[in-house]
Structure 1
């Protein structure tokens, strides 16, 4: 007999939005960083890196959904030790995101495939292959500077849009690189998302002198869920309108 799932806790903002939009009322807990959908009323159980294990256990969830990159293994082990069922996703490409979203929703016993997931796949299928390519540096933090390296979901999205990550062949997934090293990489574009570090027109472009800087919505670049429907158009628009820092 299939076990019923009526109470879910999400430790990942992307998965929180996916579950909440698809099955309203199923979520009973989410992190402080789970900002979508707007107005979500659930118990907040701390951050992605420091969830309150006791508070999660007290919610008596049938399932906890997590991610191997966003959540710490020690916290997930503690949840399992508390007797909770934990589903851990791995998302390092767009195709993998679609597969994992389907797996999560099935685990939540969602009846049928949500329309937004079909729409997201269709939106990305319409992105043309090939075309002009630019080479970009993609910082995700400063003080110290950290950039996208190899094997990342955001890097895969950019590659599909004709933007080659300058550090895609780096041995680390999120390498720390001194600013002088970034400037000398030979890129012709810098892509600055507004999360996890909040880069803005006044905080980020100036570090790269006259290099064009595309300011992108981090939700469209790094979240996998309903936002994937709008992501191709939103990212293309941002990439077409770069700003320039002070040279």
Structure 2
């Protein structure tokens, strides 16, 4: 079987992979959701779901510093990586060591549907993946009109936000949001908080990850209290494509509809 990943990198497999290592937390969750979990032989330190199912699995360090030697020693048939999450040098090194590395590059919900369908074919789990993918397609078929100016912050010190050409930014768009940080260059632009607030957002989302925003961060927004809504939200819902997508779209649509 010959396949191409999202970057157009081609590789061959004699049969559907039976030993899989996931270097992407969201992909780890997706693998278990489509019935391929029993084939996963290792995950990263940041893979947290499904918690009970992966508790016993070996860890191969983080997404940005995977233990290549450990990965190679586990003799996987396939390693799953993401262009945004993982470093090109690690993908290249594993490939040069004879490991098949399948790289996704999900920048929108439509990308997620297309690329997860392609990966499902590689894994021979298309029937199991089909209902989820159909639900995702239905959820994005008729997006609501843009109604709320939204700023979704993902870090502080320095302040960073969800920008253009990102899965999270597309979730906001499909939820009726106008992503104000998309006016800045870069996929995750950095700016001072004052510069972000100058775009006059109506809603500021404070996700639980990658930076764990909490009430201790609220004093920083004192100047906009009363003229925009501050909303803590689930960071995984905002950034993890797969089993969470449909519920995330419903959740954020309701949040924006009720914002003011």
Q: Give the structure-1-normalised TM-score.
A: 0.90
User: Of 20, 27, 41, which residue of structure 2 is paired with 1:15?
Assistant: 27
Equivalent residue of 1:150, what SS?
coil
How far apart, CA to CA, are the structure 2 residues paired with 1:240 and 1:164? 13
Q: How many residues align?
A: 240
Mapping 1:95-244, distance limit 5 Å: 95-114=110-129, 115-125=131-141, 128-130=143-145, 133-200=147-214, 202-209=215-222, 210=225, 211-239=228-256
Alpha carbons of structure 1 residues 220 and 195: separation in structure 2 relative to 1, 3 Å: same
- The root-mean-square deviation of aligned C-alpha atoms, in Å, is 2.0
CA contact (8 A) 1:139 1:148 kept: yes
Deviations 1:26-79 (A, max 9, x none): 111111111111212322111111111011111111011111111011111111
Equivalent residue of 2:154, what SS?
strand
User: Of 33, 57, 67, which residue of structure 2 is paired with 1:52?
Assistant: 67
CA contact (8 A) 1:32 1:45 kept: yes
How far apart, CA to CA, are the structure 2 residues paired with 1:215 and 1:54? 39
CA contact (8 A) 1:8 1:108 kept: no
Would you tell me which structure has more helix in proportion to its own residues? 2
How far apart, CA to CA, are the structure 1 residues paired with 2:52 and 2:253? 28
Q: Which runs of 5+ in 1 are unaligned?
A: none
Paired position in structure 2 for 1:76: 91
Equivalent residue of 1:149, what SS?
coil
CA contact (8 A) 1:29 1:43 kept: yes
Structure 1 stretches of at least 4 aligned residues deviating more than 6 Å after TM superposition: none
Paired position in structure 2 for 1:32: 45
Paired position in structure 2 for 1:3: 14
Moved more, 57-66 or 108-117: 108-117
How far apart, CA to CA, are the structure 1 residues paired with 2:255 and 2:209? 15
Deviations 1:106-154 (A, max 9, x none): 22222525222222333343x6431x61112211100111111211111
Equivalent residue of 1:43, what SS?
coil
Q: Give the structure-2-normalised TM-score.
A: 0.85
Deviations 1:80-105 (A, max 9, x none): 12110001111111101111111122
How far apart, CA to CA, are the structure 1 residues paired with 2:45 and 2:182? 31
Equivalent residue of 1:76, what SS?
helix
How far apart, CA to CA, are the structure 1 residues paired with 2:230 and 2:162? 15
CA contact (8 A) 1:120 1:228 kept: yes
